[in-house]
Amino acid sequence: MTKTREELLATFGESHLEAVTAALDEYGAASHEREVDRVKLAILRISEGDIEKLKYWVKVAKTDYRDVLAAAETGPLSPKEGAKLQAKARDVVDKWGKK
């Protein structure tokens, strides 16, 4: 079952609610930041009630919101999995450059 925004906010605790919403509201302030509600919900989900994780994922979203959506969908990658995917991406870029 998917948790609601209110349920996810509750995982941070009542005393942190103001700080959480302030940090979360940093995403969507710029006109180029897309899918604001969906991204904020994903940030809440993957932060797991940890305000430091929440701040990290807000920064990630401001760089590329798709990274947040991917992490929410697939879960975090291990360093080994991340390195493997980066190697594949470099291989694709190298092949494009040779055409």
Instruction: Check residue 1 and give its pLDDT.
Output: 60
Instruction: Check residue 21 and give its pLDDT.
Output: 93
Instruction: Check residue 99 and give its pLDDT.
Output: 66
Domain total of the chain: 1
43-90, pLDDT tens digit by residue?
A: 999 999 999 999 999 999 999 999 999 999 988 778 898 899 899 999
Backbone torsions φ then ψ of 95, nearest 5 degrees: -65, -40
In whole angstroms, what is the distance from residue 94 CA to residue 47 CA?
35
16-56, pLDDT tens digit by residue?
A: 999 999 999 999 999 999 999 999 999 999 999 999 999 99
Q: Counting beta carbons within 10 angstroms of the beta carbon of residue 92, is it exposed (0 to 12), middle (13 to 18) or buried (19 or more)?
A: exposed
Structure letter (DSSP) for residue 27: T
Boundaries of domain holding 44: 5-97
Instruction: Check residue 50 and give its pLDDT.
Output: 94
- Do residues 40 and 1 touch, judged by C-beta distance below 8 A? no
Query: Average of pLDDT values for 1-19?
Result: 86
Instruction: Check residue 34 and give its pLDDT.
Output: 94
